[in-house]
């Protein structure tokens, strides 16, 4: 083994050590996003929301700490809680996708709130939402806008202006 090859071998084993410590691949790279979509809202609506399935195939937790989008002025992570039979939503600081697990963002549950959405957010459009993770990485997800009317999910919202 000449010197150059030896150096490469050393570098490679250092990389392998990094990878096994789970600090090499970013959380953004590791997370799998399935079936993302955003809710259609009429012009002037105070808020919309984005939903998706998050899959974590790795052996370490992935922590979503925030999101942003050109489609809305304010973007927050939200969940719903059952408050004596009344479903209310509230902002949460993070969504953890457990190792070898999933987190499902869906109507009535976890969601990404799109507050003060852009003027038109109608079915057939595509918007982008950037997910931000606790390791500083981020992932941009393109998603269709879909009409959810007929699903009987009228969202209560606390951000009326
Ligand atoms: Cu919300």
Counting as low any pLDDT under 50, the low residues of the chain are: 20-22, 152-154, 156-161
Model's pTM, two decimal places? Answer: 0.78
Expressed in angstroms and rounded, the spacing between residue 38 Cα and the centre of ligand 1 is 12
Expressed in angstroms and rounded, the spacing between residue 13 Cα and the centre of ligand 1 is 46
Domain-located, residue 112: yes
Domain-located, residue 152: no
Domain-located, residue 90: yes
Beta bridge partners of 140: 130
Domain-located, residue 32: yes
Expressed in angstroms and rounded, the spacing between residue 155 Cα and the centre of ligand 1 is 8
pLDDT score of 158: 46
Expressed in angstroms and rounded, the spacing between residue 58 Cα and the centre of ligand 1 is 28
pLDDT score of 159: 46
pLDDT score of 10: 54
Expressed in angstroms and rounded, the spacing between residue 32 Cα and the centre of ligand 1 is 23
pLDDT score of 12: 53
Expressed in angstroms and rounded, the spacing between residue 82 Cα and the centre of ligand 1 is 14
The dihedral built from the CA positions of residue 159, 152, 108 and 57, taken in this order, carries a sign that is: negative
Sequence-distant (6+) residues with CB within 8 A of 114 are: 38, 47, 48, 49, 50, 69, 71, 72, 75, 121, 129
Q: Which domain holds residue 52?
A: 26-146
Three-state DSSP class for residue 90: strand
Beta bridge partners of 117: 72
Nearest Cα residue to 137 out of 27, 59, 51? 27
Expressed in angstroms and rounded, the spacing between residue 157 Cα and the centre of ligand 1 is 6
Expressed in angstroms and rounded, the spacing between residue 118 Cα and the centre of ligand 1 is 16
Domain-located, residue 159: no
Give per-residue pLDDT as tens, 82-122.
Answer: 889 888 999 999 999 999 999 999 999 999 999 999 888 99
Please state the domain count of the chain. 1
DSSP string, 96-147: EE-TTEEEEE-TTSBEEEEEEE-S-B-TT-EEEEEEEETTS-EEEEEEEEE-
Expressed in angstroms and rounded, the spacing between residue 35 Cα and the centre of ligand 1 is 19
- Residue 87 DSSP one-character state: E
39: how many CB neighbours lie within 10 A of its CB? 24
pLDDT score of 149: 74
CA 112/CA 49 separation, integer angstroms: 5
Expressed in angstroms and rounded, the spacing between residue 99 Cα and the centre of ligand 1 is 25
Domain-located, residue 20: no
């Amino acid at each position: 083994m000449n010197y150059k090859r030896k150096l490469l071998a050393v570098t490679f084993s250092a990389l392998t050590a990094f990878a096994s410590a789970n600090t090499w691949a970013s959380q953004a790279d590791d997370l799998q996003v399935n079936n993302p979509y955003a809710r259609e809202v009429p012009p002037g609506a105070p808020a919309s929301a984005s939903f998706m399935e998050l899959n974590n195939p790795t052996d370490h937790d992935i922590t979503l700490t925030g999101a942003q989008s050109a489609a809305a002025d304010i973007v927050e992570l939200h969940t719903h809680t059952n408050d004596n039979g009344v479903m209310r939503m509230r902002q949460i600081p993070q969504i953890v996708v457990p190792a070898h697990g999933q987190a499902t963002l869906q109507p009535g549950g976890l969601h990404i709130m799109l507050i003060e959405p852009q003027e038109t957010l109608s079915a057939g459009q595509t918007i982008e939402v950037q997910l931000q993770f606790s390791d500083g990485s981020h992932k941009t997800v393109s998603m269709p806008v879909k009409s959810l009317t007929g699903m009987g999910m009228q969202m209560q919202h606390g951000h009326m202006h």
